Amino acid sequence: MLNAKPASLPATLEQRALRQVDRAITDLRRGGMVLLREGGAALIAQAAEAVTAESLVRLRGLAGGALSLALTRRRAAALGLAEPPSGKGGAVLLLLAEDAAAEELRDLADPGAETAEPLPLAPVTEATGAADAAIELVKLARLLPAMVVAPLPPRAVPTLAEREGLLLLEAAQVTGYQAIAARSLQPVSEARVPLADAENTRIIAFRPSDGGIEHLAILIGDPDPETSVLLRLHSECFTGDLLGSLRCDCGDQLRGAIAEIARAGSGVLLYLAQEGRGIGLVNKLRAYRLQDAGLDTVDANEQLGFDADERVYLPAAEMLRQLGFARVRLLTNNPEKVAALTRCGIDVVERVPHIFPANGHNERYLRTKATRSGHWL
């Protein structure tokens, strides 16, 4: 479970896994292909939103057989190809016609695409472990959760990787990445940063050892590790925090938490690099477009193929441990944050309400969080 306190692997294996996954993420975002292997199965994969006519020709040539589209079960359900999952859904495979075009595949991945006519679709089948890992990998890349994949003979994969210059990953490296990255976090910089509502403030930046995006610990006053520290977990929101977007209450929550912690005398705000509930800024903008067409925030994320909330709280727990805080009073309306921190080994001794009024633009958003995501009012 990603939000549980992780077990350790030998440091050298963990570092190799982080480097491999980081390189694979970069390759996918550049439109490249990767090789994935699990046990006796292997496949070649490319992000569906990056597919071109030329890359399809190459994929078919390298695979020497039929291609499939790996989708999350949620996206398959949105297309009418599968029943919606009851919890977090895995991946399914859609066998592609030999003449399937790149534009058609991109349209299958993107619910915001404007297709001229319905696409002919075949029944889906359950994905293998390698295909599940492919979906997890493309999510880590903050791309749409859909991959064009083809099976390969496992014994041929190392030769293919060397000949074609493709990165080869084990599925376990991908599925364990979030836990390993959190475990590798280290403080890399610290400075005093007086804030408008909290002049006695320090910010400590934590970076994973693969060089990924930093998470920030904002220490207000002088919080005592021997007490139950007042804590706010805040996932970054470019539109709300920086631009003052009225579509959400994130900016109000951020500034309100800083002021509340300052009034309490001391506390911690962890600013987590998990834009759009973990789907990334680009996909959040895609979800906004679907919301403008009538969907609520949960349905929009699920139409894109994501779970309603893709965030993990292992980085938060690791930062707290390194800062010496084991017991917290959590400033939140989200029951999942309480449960997730508890699973990660942090003692949440109290839940402190954190509520702000609607502004006329975010009333439906706040109502959805309460009625569908279980947020307390």
159-215 per-position pLDDT tens digit: 999 999 999 999 999 999 999 999 999 999 999 999 999 999 999 999 999 888 999
Summarize the confidence of residues 237-251 as an average pLDDT.
95
pLDDT tens-digit readout, 283-334: 999 999 999 999 999 999 999 999 999 999 999 999 999 999 999 999 999 9
Q: How far is C-alpha 103 from the chain's CA centre?
A: 25
Which amino acid, residue 150? A
Give the residues across from 198 on adjacent strands.
195
In 3D, which of 314, 316, 248, 233 has the Cα closest to residue 281? 248
Q: What is the pLDDT of residue 113?
A: 80
pLDDT of residue 226 exceeding 80:
yes
Q: What is the pLDDT of residue 366?
A: 67
Residues marked active site are found at 309, 311
| 12-21, 195-204, 271-280, 353-362: segment of lowest average pLDDT | 353-362
Using a cut of 0.85, tell me whether the model's pTM lies above it.
yes
Neighbours of 326 (CB within 10 A): 14
pLDDT tens-digit readout, 306-319: 999 999 999 999 99
- Give me the percent of the chain exceeding a pLDDT of 70: 93
Count of alpha carbons within 13 angstroms of residue 165, beta-carbon side: 2
SS (H, E, C) the chain: CCCCCCCCCCHHHHHHHHHHHHHHHHHHHCCCEEEEEECCEEEEEEEHHHCCHHHHHHHHHHHCCCCEEEEEHHHHHHCCCCCCCCCCCCEEEEECCCCCCHHHHHHHHCCCCCCCCCCCCCCEEECCHHHHHHHHHHHHCCCCCEEEEEEECHHHHHHHHHHHCCEEEEHHHHHCHHHHHHHCCEEEEEEECCECCECCEEEEEEECCCCCCCEEEEEECCCCCCCCEEEEEEECCHHHHHCCCCCCCHHHHHHHHHHHHHHHCCEEEEEECCHHHHCCHHHHHHHHHHHHCCCCHHHHHHHCCCCCCCCCCHHHHHHHHHHCCCEEEEECCCHHHHHHHHHCCCEEEEEECCCCCCCCCCHHHHHHHHHCCCCCC
Summarize the confidence of residues 60-69 as an average pLDDT.
92
Q: What is the pLDDT of residue 1?
A: 35
pLDDT of residue 11 exceeding 70:
no
Instruction: Return all residues near 149 (Cβ < 8 A) that are at least 6 apart.
Output: 43, 44, 45, 67, 68, 69, 70, 93, 130, 131, 134
Q: What is the pLDDT of residue 6?
A: 47
Summarize the confidence of residues 76-94 as an average pLDDT.
87
Q: What is the pLDDT of residue 86?
A: 79
**Which domains are delineated in the chain?**
11-179 (3.90.870.10), 185-274+311-371 (3.40.50.10990)
Higher pLDDT, 128 or 31: 31
pLDDT tens-digit readout, 100-112: 999 999 999 999 8
Q: What is the pLDDT of residue 276?
A: 95
Give the residues across from 200 on adjacent strands.
none
Q: Phi-psi bin for 348: left (phi > 0), alpha (psi -120 to 50), beta?
A: beta
Each residue of 141-170: b (16+ CB within 10 Å) or e? bbbbbbbbbbbbeeeebeebbeeeebbbbb
Q: What is the pLDDT of residue 354?
A: 83
